Amino acid sequence: MQTDTLPATDPHAIGRAATLLRAGCLVAFPTETVYGLGANALDADAVARIFAAKGRPATNPVIVHVADRIHAKKLVADWPDSATHLADRFWPGPLTLVLPKAPCVPDIVTAGGPTVALRIPAHPVALALLRSCGVPIAAPSANRSTELSPTTAEHVQRSLSDRIDLILDGGPTSGGLESTVLDVTTNPPTLLRPGLVTIAEIEAIVGSIQRAGSVGDDAPARSPGQMARHYSPRTPLTIATTSRRHIETLTADGARIGWLTHRDEGEVPGVSRVLLPADPVSYSARLYAALHHIDSLGLERIIVEAPPDDDAWLAVRDRLHRAAEA
Ligand code: AMP
Ligand code: MG
């Protein structure tokens, strides 16, 4: 049985979704990053349903979404000045702040840890839902664990159909990649996951920050929940410095290959090529949709042109390395 999808423009959609959330049900909804799978963050049983529906390991904490800063402060035991400055600049928006948790936050939300991850999303549907339901919403990406994150309601339907109670369809999400996760319990703050807000943008507000482990490099980060294999298509994916010649060689024996690149060297006959924009923001916005598409073609291998080395591409490199075969 398919899960109901309601267009977010339906006049009853937000009210129905809010009622379901307050009753402990699961609702997928659009944010400006990717689609989230939401539950009432103060209801441990409801949050447990998120973990069950996704097949998410209990060691991976979830981000809590709030309508405004007043709600955010109710969930934390301390609110450092750095949080004020960062929230002034980036909220609503794709920056998640990790803070000491208040006792009201159930352990399952934080994977038993002493901190909680919070953000105010910028998407009008997410904000309307948060205001209407009146409770904070715990929401990881709305896909089964380790799969690609969803950027359309259809991606959610394909991954979680019949495991959740409602999908609010707000069209394709604009950011395309997940939020940046920044721990502000350390001084200076620590980057736990690169995302749509760049290091340069954060450092312009709070000065130099630290990077956990080797975020964005070949090895996975060591922070909680930063799983090495994550965001993965089913088709084996390799990152390489590609060239037209290289791709032609790979397909010489008839191998069915997908080629994802941001450098236009022309089509190669017999190869499914997706050409992405060469700037990191537009590339991010389209990356998951491109991977969902190329993954649906039933190819033998996806070759992705290695993105540039600079910090503006850090989040893209991080996701591609997690999507690639070990
Ligand atoms: P997602 O499934 O995309 O929502 O991922 C949520 C991300 O936030 C994961 O990388 C988590 O490890 C991270 N996260 C959530 N809560 C915390 C926390 N309390 N401390 C550190 N990282 C967290
Ligand atoms: Mg996820």
What is the predicted pLDDT for the residue at 243? 86
Atom of ligand 1 nearest to the CA of 101: 19
Residue ranges making up the domain that contains 287: 237-323
Q: Is the Cα torsion angle 236, 237, 240, 245 positive or negative in sign?
A: positive
Same domain for 245 and 206: no
Stated pTM of the model: 0.93
Same domain for 181 and 312: no
- Residue 15: left (phi > 0), alpha (psi -120 to 50), or beta? alpha
Question: What are the tens digits of pLDDT across the range 271-289?
Answer: 999 999 999 999 999 999 9
How many A from CA of 149 to the centre of ligand 2?
6
According to DSSP, the residues that pair with 30 across neighbouring strands are: 35
Question: What are the tens digits of pLDDT across the range 282-326?
Answer: 999 999 999 999 999 999 999 999 999 999 999 999 999 999 976
Same domain for 104 and 69: yes
SS3 call for 99: strand
Complete edge-to-edge strand list for the sheet that includes strand 35-40 = 5-7, 166-169, 27-30, 35-40, 137-138, 63-65, 115-119, 95-100, 180-183, 190-193, 210-211
Q: CA gyration radius for the chain? A: 20
In a domain, 220, yes or no: no
Same domain for 319 and 198: no
Residues with CB under 6 A from ligand 1: 60-63, 98, 110, 113, 115-117, 140-141, 178, 181, 192-193, 223-226
Same domain for 118 and 251: no
In a domain, 221, yes or no: no
Same domain for 245 and 204: no
What is the predicted pLDDT for the residue at 217? 43
Q: State which of 166, 195, 211 marks the end of a domain.
A: 211
> How far is the C-alpha of 33 from the C-alpha of 284, rounded, in Å?
10
Same domain for 189 and 98: yes
- Ligand 1 pocket check: which of 32, 59, 62, 186 to mutate, most ligand atoms within 8 Å of Cβ? 62
Report yes or no: 194 and 201 within 8 Å, Cβ to Cβ.
Answer: no
Question: What Cα–Cα distance (Å) separates residue 133 from each residue in 23, 44, 56?
Answer: 10, 17, 25
- Ligand 1 pocket check: which of 143, 181, 191 to mutate, most ligand atoms within 8 Å of Cβ? 181
pLDDT category at 254 given cuts 50, 70, 90 is: confident
**Which of 122-131, 216-225, 317-326 reaches the highest mean pLDDT?**
122-131
**What value, to the nearest 5°, has the Cα angle with vertex 89 and ends 83 and 90?**
85
In a domain, 224, yes or no: no
pLDDT above 90 as % of the chain: 87
Same domain for 22 and 166: yes
More confident residue, 1 or 199: 199
Question: What is the CATH number for 23?
Answer: 3.90.870.10
Same domain for 204 and 251: no
Q: State which of 160, 177, 211 marks the end of a domain.
A: 211
In a domain, 33, yes or no: yes
What is the predicted pLDDT for the residue at 213? 66
Closest C-alpha to 175, from 57, 77, 96: 96
Residue type, 126: A
Proximal ligand: closest to the CA of 148: 2
Q: What residue ranges in 184-256 does DSSP mark as E strands?
A: 190-193, 210-211, 237-240
* Domain count for the chain: 2
Segment 193-206 mean pLDDT: 97
How many A from CA of 318 to the centre of ligand 2?
13
How many A from CA of 237 to the centre of ligand 1?
24
Same domain for 27 and 137: yes
pLDDT category at 216 given cuts 50, 70, 90 is: very low
